[in-house]
C-alpha cells in the first residue's frame, strides 16, 4: 500500500502535503536548463507580422530534454495517489518557477490540493472456499464488479456457455469463457491478452445477468490464464473519485459515492483460473465474501500564471491544460514494468512548458493560466476539481486549450477535438485554432476521432471536458492513440520530436490569438454537450 494512502479518518492538510513534497523534491536529480536564446530564422510569415517574435523560443531541443526528464524511469510512471505523482508535480512546478511563471495555487504555492477517495477490494476481509479448499482474492479469483458481494451455495456447471436454453435463474453458475467477438476487443491499451479477457468477461457478465443468474464464475481459457495476474493487478487498484467536483458526463453525480455498499446489486461475477474447471464440475459448495475498503489520498493540480499586459483584458485568462500523472509501475510487458507515459501525457506537459517560455518572454494582452491536472488517469479528477473550484472566476476563463498525446502517428496528421458538433462549443475558438494550424504545423486534420460515435469516445477522455460542460470554450490537440498506449512501451525514444514541436507551435499560436483578440471567443448558441 503506498504510504500516501490514509484511512478515512485521517486528515490531510496542505502543510502536510507540502512537507511531503519538500522531502520528495530533495531526491530529484539536478536537471540542467538551456537559456532562452533565439532560434535562427523564424518562418517567413513572422516577418509579415503574423507570428509573435517569441514563437522562436519553442524549440525541439528544449522539448526533447524536458520529455526525457519527465518520462524517465526515475519518475516511475507518475501514478496518481503515490509519491511518484508528487515527485513529478514538484518537477513541473520547478520548471514553471525557472521559466518565470508565477504560482497561483494554495497558500502562494503552485499546488491546488484535492482529496481522492479510493475504493478497493479488501485483501484482508475478502475470502472464499470451494468445497473445503480456501480461495484467495487476486490469487484464485478476481471480483469483476466494484461492490461488495456475498455468495453461498452449490455450483451449477454449464458446459456450453452459449446454450441459452438452460435455466440459470437463482443459481451460482460456473462456465467456460466464451471467445469474444473480434470487434469488441480494443485495439489499444494494456497487453493483447488483457484486452481479450476484458472483452470476454464483459460480454459474459451481460449475458448471464440478463438470464437471472445468482452469481457467475467465468473459467479462464488459455489466453485469459495468461492475463489473470496482470488483470488482478489492474483491478486490485480499485476505483477513484473526488467529492464536490464538476461532471464528466451529463448523468454523473458531482458527489463521490462515499458509503461503501455491503452487497453488489445484480449478478456478481468472478474470473477463476482454468485449472479450477475440474473441481467446479463436481458441484461443490461455494462461499465467496467480497468486502470493500475506502481510503483518502491527496493529489494536486499545478497552477501558474503569466499576467497579461492590457489593464482590462489581463483579468481574463487563456487556460493551457495538461495532466502530469500516468499509470505508474504495473505488470511486466517485454521485461519492463514502468509505464512511463511519454506520449500520455508527457508530450502535452512539455508543450505547456514550451508555450510558457514564449509567453514569459512576450506576454499577451490577456493573462495565461498553465494548469497541470492531477489524477487524470483516475477519471479526470483534477480537472473536475479545478473546474468546480477554479483559482480564478470561471467566467474569466475565455478558452481551454488542452494538449493530450501529441507526439506519435503519421508526421503530417493530427486531430483537433471540439471542431464539429456536438463537441464544438465555440466556432470562434475553432476558427482561431484552424488559422494557427495553417501558419504552423499545417496538419491534415482527422475528424473521425471527434465524432460522437467513434468507438473510443476520445473526446470525453481528457481534461477539457469538465470545462466544456460548464460552457467554457474548449478544444483538444492530439495525434490520437497508438499500439503503445498505456503500456511500458510509451517511452521518450518513441516520440516524433519534430512533429511534437509543430504541435506545440500550433497550440501556442492558438493561445496567442486568443490572448490578443479584441473579443473573447463565444459559446455557440444552443450548445449542449451530450454523448
**Does 48 have pLDDT greater than 70?**
no
Q: How high is the pLDDT of residue 25?
A: 41
Q: How confident is the model at residue 169 (pLDDT cuts 50, 70, 90)?
A: very high
Whether residue 529 is predicted with pLDDT greater than 70 in this model: the reply is yes
- Is the bond preceding 527 in cis, omega lying within 30 degrees of 0? no
Categorize the per-residue pLDDT at 44 as very low, low, confident or very high, splitting at 50, 70 and 90: low
295-to-82, 118, 151, 244 alpha-carbon distances in Å: 13, 5, 25, 17
**Is residue 50 a contact partner of residue 43, using CB atoms and an 8 Å limit?**
no
**Spatial separation of the C-alpha atoms in residues 236 and 19, rounded to whole Å:** 29
Average pLDDT over residues 97-111: 98
Q: Which three cell numbers stand for residue 13?
A: 492538510
- Angle CA(402)–CA(406)–CA(407) in degrees, nearest 5? 165
* Residue 27 banded pLDDT, cuts 50, 70, 90: very low
Q: What angle do CA 46, 343, 398 make, to 5 degrees?
A: 55
pLDDT at 39: 34
Average pLDDT of span 395-412: 98
User: Distance between CA atoms of 109 and 86, rounded to whole angstroms?
Assistant: 14
Phi (first) and psi of residue 32, to 5 degrees:
-100, 155
What CATH number is given for 123-290 in this structure? 3.50.30.30
How far, in Å, are 67, 286, 482 from residue 493 at the CA level?
A: 10, 50, 15
**What is the domain partition of the chain in residue ranges?**
6-34+43-118+296-516, 123-290
Residue 501 cell numbers, joined: 514541436
Average pLDDT, integer, range 116-136: 96
pLDDT digits (tens, 9 = 90+) for 281-306: 999 999 999 999 999 999 999 999 99
Q: What are phi and psi of 514, to 5 degrees?
A: -65, -40
Give the pLDDT score at 517: 98
The residue-averaged pLDDT of 314-319 equals: 98
For residue 303, the cross-strand partners are 371
> How many C-alpha atoms does 68 have within 13 Å on its Cβ side?
12
Instruction: Please give the Cα distance from 243 to 178 (Å, whole number).
Output: 39
Compute the mean pLDDT over every residue in the chain, rounded to the nearest whole number: 90
Burial class (CB in 10 A: 0-12, 13-18, 19+), 160: exposed
Low-confidence winner among 255-264, 345-354, 380-389, 395-404 (lowest mean pLDDT) = 255-264
What's the confidence (pLDDT) of residue 4? Answer: 34
pLDDT, greater one: 17 or 412: 412
What is the structure's pLDDT at 49? 67
User: Is-same-fold flag (6-34+43-118+296-516; 123-290)?
Assistant: no
The DSSP secondary-structure symbol of 50 reads: S
Residue 1 has pLDDT above 70, yes or no: no
271 contact partners, CB below 8 Å, separation of at least 6: 141, 142, 144, 197, 201, 217, 218, 220, 224, 228, 231
Structure confidence at residue 289 (pLDDT): 96
Q: Which CATH number fits domain 6-34+43-118+296-516: 3.40.50.2300, 3.20.20.70, 3.30.70.1350, 3.40.630.10?
A: 3.40.630.10
Q: What is the largest CA-CA distance in the chain?
A: 82
Cis peptide before 422 (omega within 30 of 0): yes
Are 323 and 349 in contact by the 8 Å Cβ rule? The answer is: yes
- Residue 339 scores a pLDDT above 60: yes
Q: Which stretch of 160-164, 198-202, 307-311, 434-438 has the lowest confidence by average pLDDT? A: 160-164
- Please state, in angstroms and rounded to a whole number, the distance separating the CA atoms of residues 142 and 206: 17
CB 71 within 8 A of CB 341: yes
Across the range 52-81, mean pLDDT stands at: 98
Question: pTM for the complete prediction?
Answer: 0.89
Helix (H) or strand (E) holding 393: none
- What does the pLDDT average to over 416-434? 97
DSSP for 447-485, written as a single string: -GGGSTT-TT-GGGGSTTHHHHHTT--EEEEE----TTT
* DSSP state letter for 180: P
236/231 Cα distance (integer angstroms)? 8
- pLDDT above 70 (res 509): yes
Mean pLDDT computed over 383-395? 98
Mean pLDDT for 374-379 is: 97
Across 14-23, 442-451, 458-467, least confident range: 14-23
pLDDT confidence of 146, banded at 50, 70, 90?
A: confident
Distance CA 174, CA 282 (A): 11
Mean pLDDT of all residues in 319-343: 97
- Residue 117, helix vs strand vs coil: strand
Taking the C-alpha atoms of residue 13 and residue 5, their distance in angstroms, rounded to an integer, is 14
Q: What is the DSSP annotation of 328-361?
A: EEEEEETTEEEE--IIIIIHHHHHHHHHHHHHHH
What does the pLDDT look like over 220-255, one tens digit per residue?
A: 999 999 999 999 999 999 999 999 999 898 888 777
Q: Could you tell me the pLDDT band of residue 257, with boundaries at 50, 70 and 90?
A: low
pLDDT reading at 14 higher than 50: no
Amino acid at each position: 500500500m503506498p504510504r500516501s494512502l490514509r484511512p478515512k479518518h485521517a486528515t490531510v492538510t496542505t502543510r502536510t502535503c507540502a512537507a511531503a513534497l519538500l522531502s520528495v523534491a530533495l531526491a530529484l536529480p539536478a536537471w540542467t536548463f538551456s537559456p532562452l536564446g533565439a532560434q535562427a530564422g523564424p518562418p517567413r510569415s513572422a516577418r509579415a507580422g503574423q507570428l509573435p517574435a517569441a514563437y522562436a523560443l519553442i524549440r525541439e531541443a528544449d522539448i526533447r530534454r524536458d520529455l526525457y526528464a519527465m518520462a524517465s524511469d526515475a519518475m516511475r510512471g507518475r501514478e496518481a495517489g503515490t509519491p511518484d505523482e508528487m515527485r513529478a508535480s514538484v518537477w513541473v512546478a520547478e520548471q514553471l518557477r525557472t521559466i518565470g511563471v508565477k504560482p497561483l495555487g494554495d497558500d502562494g504555492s503552485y499546488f491546488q490540493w484535492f482529496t481522492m477517495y479510493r475504493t478497493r477490494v479488501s485483501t484482508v476481509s475478502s475470502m472464499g472456499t470451494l468445497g473445503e479448499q480456501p480461495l484467495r482474492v487476486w490469487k484464485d479469483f478476481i471480483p469483476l464488479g466494484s461492490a461488495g458481494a456475498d455468495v453461498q451455495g452449490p455450483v451449477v456447471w454449464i458446459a456450453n456457455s452459449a446454450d441459452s436454453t438452460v435455466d440459470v435463474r437463482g443459481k451460482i453458475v460456473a462456465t467456460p469463457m466464451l471467445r469474444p467477438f473480434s470487434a469488441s476487443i480494443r485495439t489499444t491499451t494494456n497487453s493483447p491478452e488483457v484486452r481479450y479477457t476484458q472483452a470476454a468477461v464483459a460480454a459474459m457478465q451481460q449475458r448471464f445477468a440478463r438470464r437471472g443468474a445468482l452469481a457467475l464464475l467465468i473459467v479462464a481459457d488459455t489466453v485469459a490464464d495468461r492475463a489473470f495476474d496482470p488483470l488482478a493487478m489492474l483491478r486490485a487498484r480499485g476505483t477513484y473519485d473526488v467529492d464536490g467536483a464538476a461532471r464528466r458526463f451529463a448523468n454523473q453525480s458531482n458527489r463521490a459515492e462515499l458509503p461503501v455498499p455491503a452487497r453488489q446489486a445484480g449478478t456478481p461475477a468472478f474470473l477463476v483460473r482454468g485449472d479450477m474447471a475440474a473441481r467446479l464440475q463436481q458441484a461443490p459448495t461455494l462461499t465467496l465474501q467480497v468486502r470493500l475498503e475506502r481510503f483518502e489520498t491527496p493529489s494536486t493540480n499545478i497552477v501558474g500564471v503569466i499576467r497579461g499586459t492590457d489593464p482590462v483584458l489581463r483579468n481574463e485568462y487563456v487556460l493551457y491544460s495538461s495532466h502530469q500523472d500516468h499509470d505508474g509501475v504495473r505488470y511486466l510487458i517485454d521485461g519492463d514494468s514502468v509505464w512511463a507515459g511519454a506520449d500520455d501525457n508527457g508530450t502535452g506537459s512539455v508543450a505547456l512548458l514550451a508555450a510558457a517560455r514564449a509567453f514569459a518572454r512576450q506576454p499577451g494582452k490577456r493573462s495565461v493560466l498553465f494548469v497541470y491536472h492531477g489524477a487524470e488517469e483516475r477519471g479526470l479528477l483534477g480537472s473536475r476539481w479545478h473546474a468546480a473550484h477554479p483559482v480564478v472566476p470561471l467566467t474569466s476563463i475565455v478558452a481551454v486549450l488542452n494538449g493530450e498525446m501529441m507526439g506519435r502517428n503519421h508526421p503530417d496528421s493530427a486531430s483537433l477535438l471540439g471542431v464539429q458538433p456536438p463537441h464544438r462549443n465555440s466556432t470562434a475558438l475553432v476558427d482561431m485554432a484552424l488559422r494557427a494550424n495553417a501558419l504552423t504545423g499545417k496538419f491534415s486534420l482527422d475528424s473521425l476521432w471527434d465524432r460522437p460515435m467513434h468507438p473510443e469516445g476520445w473526446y470525453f477522455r481528457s481534461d477539457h471536458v469538465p470545462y466544456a460542460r460548464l460552457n467554457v470554450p474548449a478544444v483538444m490537440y492530439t495525434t490520437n492513440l497508438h499500439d503503445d498506449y498505456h503500456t511500458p512501451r510509451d517511452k521518450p525514444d518513441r516520440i516524433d520530436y519534430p512533429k511534437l514541436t509543430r504541435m506545440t507551435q500550433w497550440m501556442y499560436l492558438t493561445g496567442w490569438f486568443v490572448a490578443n483578440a479584441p473579443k473573447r471567443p463565444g459559446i455557440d448558441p444552443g450548445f449542449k454537450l451530450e454523448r
